[in-house]
Every structure is written in structure tokens, then in C-alpha cells.
Amino acid sequence: MRVALVTGAAGGMGRAISDRLLADGLHVIGVDIDGAALLAMAADRDGFTPEAVDVTDPDAIIDLFERMTNRFGGVDVLVNNAGTCLMSDFPDIPAAELTRQMEINFHSAFHCCQQAVKAMARRPGVRKIVNISSNGAYNFDVFDPPHYRASKAAMDTLTKDLARRYARDKIAVNSIAPAMTETSLFNVLT
């Protein structure tokens, strides 16, 4: 059985990614801070394991991957989808907001990648890490705030480094940089 772990699984993109992976025959570990939404997803999805975890907590990420490795023997696919876009204007961005933006969008992906590489070590075949970035990291014709852009650009740099570092180990690392997507976050931003 191939196993995928998707962060931000209860949101719009995370739900769609989880459903696609399930349709492709993978067992999906859906990770989100919204435990109730995950339980609702699990109620009508065979092969879906809900895990309510705060991905901004590195110790919680370590615990999650250890538990999932013990239960499933590791993971084959990681999709770092958890993210948000905090909207303060540049001169008014409080330090706490900058920190929170980086924790959610970049630090969580960094720590999940660290644990995923370990959890993928004994899995056969090509393993995959997909980081959900944003065209806002490079497209300056949109209204994204600078701390959001920086968090996604950092993720893309991490992606490029890990792709080079782990290609020989058959761990493919890529990012996807979607434009504005109609999700609940879209409704907040527009």
C-alpha cells in the first residue's frame, strides 16, 4: 500500500489533493488543525486517516511521522499544502505576524520534509515530496503582501535544494505554484 501525507487536508486545495490521491489508490493521512473537518472527511472516504496536528509545532510533526511510520511503515508521498496569507501592509506588519506567516507557510514544510525524508528511507520505488507554493512568490503584478511572498519563495528554495540533494535516493521533490484559487482563503482575500 502506498501512503500519502497531506498537510492542510481539510481546506479547499487539501481536500481536492486528498481526493485525487485516494482516487489514485493511495492511503491518505490527512493532517490539519481542524480536527472536526478531518473527521467529517473520514466519514465518507475509505482509506483516509485523519490526524489533527498543529504543523507549526516541530515536536508535533516529529510525533506524527513517528506514529505514521510505526503504523504504515513510512510514507511514499508528502504534500505540504498547509498555508495562509496574512494581509497586513508592509510598513505595518507586526513581528508576530511575520513569524506566524513563516511558521505556517515555510517552517511547517521544512520540518515535514525533514521527517518525510526519514520516513521514506525504507519505502520502495520513487517517493515524492510536493510543496504547494504560489505564483505570488514571483508574480509581482498581484496584491500578495511581502511576508507571504517571502514564505513561498523560501519554500521554493528549499524545494530546489532537496530535489538536488535527494534525487539519487529516488525522492523526487517539486513545487506547484498555483495562482489565486477559489477556496475559503480566496473568499477572505477578495
Judging by DSSP bridges, how do beta strands 48-52 and 171-176 pair with one another? unpaired
Domains of the chain, CATH where assigned: 3-189 (3.40.50.720)
CB–CB of 52/82 below 8 Å?
Answer: no
pLDDT of 132: 96
pLDDT of 182: 60
CB atoms inside a 10 Å sphere around CB 114: 15
Report the predicted TM-score, pTM, of the whole model to 2 decimal places.
0.91
pLDDT of 190: 46
Q: What is the dihedral of CA 7, 177, 96, 93, to 10 degrees?
A: -160
Residue pLDDT, tens place only, 3-53: 999 999 999 999 999 999 999 999 999 999 999 999 999 999 999 999 999
Residue pLDDT, tens place only, 74-104: 999 999 999 988 988 889 999 999 999 999 9
Residues 6+ apart with CB under 8 A from 171: 117, 120, 126, 127, 128, 129, 162
Which three three-digit cell numbers place residue 157? 528554495
Is pLDDT at 123 greater than 60 in this prediction? yes
pLDDT of 126: 97
Would you name the residues annotated as active-site residues? 148
Residue pLDDT, tens place only, 62-75: 999 999 999 999 99
pLDDT of 50: 99
Residue pLDDT, tens place only, 134-187: 877 676 676 778 888 899 999 999 999 999 999 999 999 999 977 765 656 545
